Amino acid sequence: MQVIAVLDLWAGQAVHASGGDRRRYRPVKSALAPGSDPVSLARAFRDHLGIQTCYLADLGAIAGGPTDLRIVRTIADQGLKLWVDAAIRDAATAGRVLAAGASRAVIGLETLPDPSALASVGAALPSERLAFSLDLRAGRPVAAAPVLAGETPLQLAGRAFEAGYRTLILLDLARVGALGGPYDELLPPLRARYPQMSVVIGGGVRDRDDLRRLADLGCAAVLVGTALHAGRITRADIRTVEAV
């Protein structure tokens, strides 16, 4: 199982995401590096923990602003792989993010305008360059499009699979930054119904025990932010689960 470090970006700084309430986010205080510069933190993830992939959530873009492609380019230039969630709604925007150096463009349920956007991006780009983020809050879908908000998580996963996506992020915003444990109840049914799909869990991961449990459940990768900054997960913990 792969461990992916999370960087939540707001106005050029890495911020501490907590519970999905973005009005309350403040600059990160990390045990890994001083300050909240996202590039320095990305290097610290690599150098101190051996992490090779970061997940960048551009909160400014998600809130309706432009994507910070400069940060994408700069982190990619460090030799790190980068998954970018930046309110990508069409293939052209996904293409710009990938051209800036991202290894994957993340298509988030929270910002999809309609089901056709999911399908059109999936048809235009290779599946290995994309991931679909099944955004939840307390287990319920968070979607801008009413037709998508009314579907179950398994139905939404089915839409993504039919559209060609083979990587699905199960992200519960209510658990982000709370260190309350990940939302993994859907992992077994998702893996049973869509065995060809890699499932990534994000939100709430606390420690090595959570990592080991998710690895045992067949999780392909896990997104971790707060637990890394707090020093609750070590390089040895990461090596152990990445060997599973």
- The pLDDT tens digits for 193-202 are 999 999 999 9
> Between 3.60.21.70, 3.30.70.980, 3.50.50.60, 3.20.20.70, what CATH number should domain 2-236 receive?
3.20.20.70
Q: What is the per-residue pLDDT for 177?
A: 81
Residue 21 pLDDT? 62
Number of neighbouring beta carbons within 10 Å of residue 69: 18
Q: How far is CA 105 from CA 181, 196, 210, in A?
A: 26, 19, 26
113-122: average pLDDT? 95
For the segment 76-104, the average pLDDT, to the nearest whole number, is 97
